[in-house]
Amino acid sequence: MYKFFCPLLFCLPPEVAHAITLNLLKFATVLKLTHFFVCKSTGQPINLLDLQFKNRIGIAAGLDKNGDYLDALAALGVGFIEVGAVTPKAQIGNSKPRLFRLVKEQALINRMGFNNKGVDYLVNKLKQRKSTCIVGVNFGKNKETPLAQAADDYIYCLEKVFLYADFCTINISSPNTPDLQQLQTPLYLENLLTAIKKKRDDLTIQHTKKLPLLVKISPDLIDAELYALVDMVDKLGLDGIIATNTTNQRSNVTNHSLAKQIGGLSGKPIARLSYEMLVKIRQHNKHLPVISVGGISSVADAKQRFQAGADLIQLYTGLIYEGPRLLRKLIEL
Ligand SMILES: Cc1cc2nc3c(=O)[nH]c(=O)nc-3n(C[C@H](O)[C@H](O)[C@H](O)COP(=O)(O)O)c2cc1C
């Protein structure tokens, strides 16, 4: 069905098509019509991060920035949904157009810039959700918050969502908030992660609730930066890595007329890069939980990630091009 609608949706600007698709899905969920296109099998369950995932397939951050579609996305049968990125205060993000389709390449370039309705709005959506699907919350910092005070933004969001999220992601890898990726470097990383982890540990004691914290990384890190970051996550006792965010590179799309658009590239052209990051992480560290994301658009891609040591996988761009039938195939894997 999605394949039938896809050419129509692709006539519309990407953000409009995105909103229409998610609202149609929400409508179908309310009318209990999703059984026509969702997976009959629930997939292979897995226990990770002290959470029981009903399968290893998840929706990546950015698709549902504000938690508006939690029950609709859960109805697709996924094992988990990551919402956000959310920031303490609402922000409108970069000016439009800021999302571009590279159709032949099955890719997107986005420079959304953490457009979101703020953490209080998201908390209400988390409280209202009916589904029991595992939900992670992806945190960013507000654009105007200086890097030196970034920890305050992450901690603010952590406190707000602590009781309502199943895991949280410290997003220091989006290319679309000026200088955010510098938080991945030694100058900021240890202080930032230590402060967030301390707050998480305090909240754990206060509420007798565990909340796994993962760090989402860029595929553009050089090896030394990657290994230092993995070691830091491990040393500080954070719970895992999400690899990867979008890339600033254009190596597989250099000739495309949109290749010069500023923003992060996602989808098929980054599959190799994200896979190689996963392999490097696993060669360096055998035990940290890793969620692999980036360019997964087929069963073969998913199998390759699991064989390389991914515990879970996530999708965004693959879903835009393939629709729910890709999820169905992956869940049945
Ligand atoms: C339009 C768009 C918005 C995104 N927003 C976020 C975000 O807010 N936080 C985040 O960590 N990643 C965000 N991402 C990155 C995805 O979660 C994912 O890491 C990346 O797109 C690679 O996966 P894919 O090739 O399956 O899309 C966004 C991606 C796209 C295309």
Q: What is the pLDDT of residues 120-179, one digit of tens each?
A: 999 999 999 999 999 999 999 999 999 999 999 999 999 999 999 999 999 999 999 999
The model scores a pTM over 0.95: yes
Angle at 170 between CA 220 and CA 53, to 5 degrees: 105
**Annotated catalytic residue 174:** yes
Q: Are 311 and 287 in contact (CB under 8 A)?
A: no
Identified catalytic residue from 95, 131, 173, 174? 174
**How many domains, in total, are found in the chain?**
1
Q: Check residue 35 and give its pLDDT.
A: 72
Domain housing 300: 2-332
170: nearest Cα among 229, 130, 124: 229
Mean pLDDT, all residues of the chain: 95
Rg of the chain, C-alpha, whole Å:
18
pLDDT band at 103 (very low <50, low <70, confident <90, very high): very high
pLDDT at 3 over 80: no
174 Cα: distance to centroid of ligand 1 (angstroms): 8
Burial of residue 287 (CB within 10 Å: 0-12, 13-18, 19+) is: exposed
- CATH code (residue 7): 3.20.20.70
- Residue ranges around ligand 1 (CB below 6 Å): 60-62, 84-85, 99, 108, 110, 112, 138, 171, 174, 216, 245-246, 266-267, 270, 293-296, 315-318
